[in-house]
Structure 1
């Protein structure tokens, strides 16, 4: 009986691992799309982009790629093949309609905001957010983190002041992002970039400080500056190529 139970456990473990491996192998990839574009098969590339956007929606590990590289490439395809740009705009409008009907969620708003960022419609995203504030304030509050960076870039401080909660936490997020990149550098990751790590850090820090000062959160701004100075002083002791 014990041997049977052990064999059953082994079989179950093997089955779960097989399912996991199969799932990994079936994850959608952007490589076929790149190949189609190189061959000039733009219509097929558009179809694959649409399929990728749908198929990758339920793959947690692809959420970042899905809303950045994939949409960016889709927008670039639109410059070569206008129907691709039309399709991307229509997708954005479909998401907007869902949101304004009150049928949205954080994922839909994030998709909408990301698409608009690649088709130069950031102002429309802000306009939509204001409408959501008016008609669905609770939902708008939940969507705020997706649009905060855009609001900071556009200096829409009056909107930020209504939603921002903890600027110190936001600074720590920026710091951790740099630390992640620095960790990759110290481990010898060829794809990591010190220039990128520093540029992102200082860009986001500057945006956060400008925002906190503009909305009167002076004490927070001073504390963020103090933490940043201390952090950069301490981190300078560790060279990027250290292991």
Structure 2
């Protein structure tokens, strides 16, 4: 693949902008400056190692698609056009936004925790389809002490305003007087908050710990992101 096309596919701008980066000597391959936009390189080596390159001194690895995990802080909106708070996309390199990375499901601005992002449209659509019933696990802190009967109601199912049927927690475990772990597989608007309200309590803090079998890494700090490794991508694909 031509170098200018490689850079464009990785989110470094239009073909013209990528060509200019190369001609300005800002792109290196294997430690050597390449000024030829039409120079051809294999994006995947025979040993299955992806092409590595640097732009303006920062190293990158060619990725046909990107799969990311972000530990979302409070006060960020999962939107490219936020209304009242900063966008979670401001926490990512501009190259990801350029190549069309999207959130796999959203979290409210005041909800923290695991957020998966990708530019793989088919994967995103599969994982967010209502029929997939992917489990999502939340740590819930409530305003008032949690009663045993509230736990039982959540397990049995509660009615939500303007929704048909009842919505039950797949799992509900009390951890402390005002804290529980709640797992759901639907994705209704403000669902956890509405379920807690339906049993006569109120959510003070909400943190997503897990999607399917993929858990938020313990060492991933708030506001930080990582690429999913091959094993994690495989696990994420299984969710879809």
More strand by share: 2
Under a length normalisation based on structure 1, what TM-score does the superposition of the two structures give?
A: 0.21
Larger RCO (alpha carbons 8 Å, 6+ apart): 2
More helix by share: 1
